[in-house]
Amino acid sequence: MKERKLHLMNLKTVLTTDTVDLHLKGTSKEAIIDELLDILVKAGKVKDKTAARACVLDRERKMSTGMKHGIAIPHGKTDSVDDLVACMGISDNPVDFDSLDQEPCRIFIMTLSPVDKTGPHLQFLAEVSLLFKSAEKRQEILKSNDKSEVIRILTE
């Protein structure tokens, strides 16, 4: 029997170099969401891309996940994941994401969680939003060419 992990989900436990892409190519909200989903599918984290995509786009229709300072956190709840999963992408070019501050985004963090688990999802979103209050961290992330370094910047 597998031991249940009791620690809370955080970026260190969820992001790996397999789930970070420093050069997203998409030029639209949907293209970016597709690229992020591809990262998760390739890493073996998502069972059904179509279902996952539908839940993320549905969430976007309710309210954009474009935050402020060039950051978007597309997310959703889906049965195509067993636990909270996340990935991060940096776009080479700013993408219009209907952000709160009307600015285009370059930093994207996607998270998906099972429909029946709310706690880790909310905790993760709260943690992510706190990180990006730092303009310095955002700049470091945008300048970095190293996936491990990006994860280090995010989690320190």
Enumerate the domain spans of the chain: 11-155
Q: pLDDT, tens digit, for every residue of 4-15?
A: 333 345 677 889
- Stretch 66-73: mean pLDDT: 92
Mean pLDDT for the chain overall: 88
DSSP H stretches of helix in the chain: 11-14, 29-42, 49-62, 119-131, 135-143, 147-155
In CATH, which of 3.40.930.10, 3.40.50.970, 3.40.50.150, 3.20.20.70 is domain 11-155? 3.40.930.10
* C-alpha–C-alpha distance, residues 91 and 118, integer Å: 29
State both tokens at 28.
């639209």
How many CA atoms lie less than 13 Å away from 130 in the CB half-sphere? 10
Looking at residue 121, its pLDDT comes to 78
| Percent of the chain residues past pLDDT 90, beyond the cut | 70
* C-alpha–C-alpha distance, residues 68 and 79, integer Å: 29
Predicted structure pTM score: 0.89
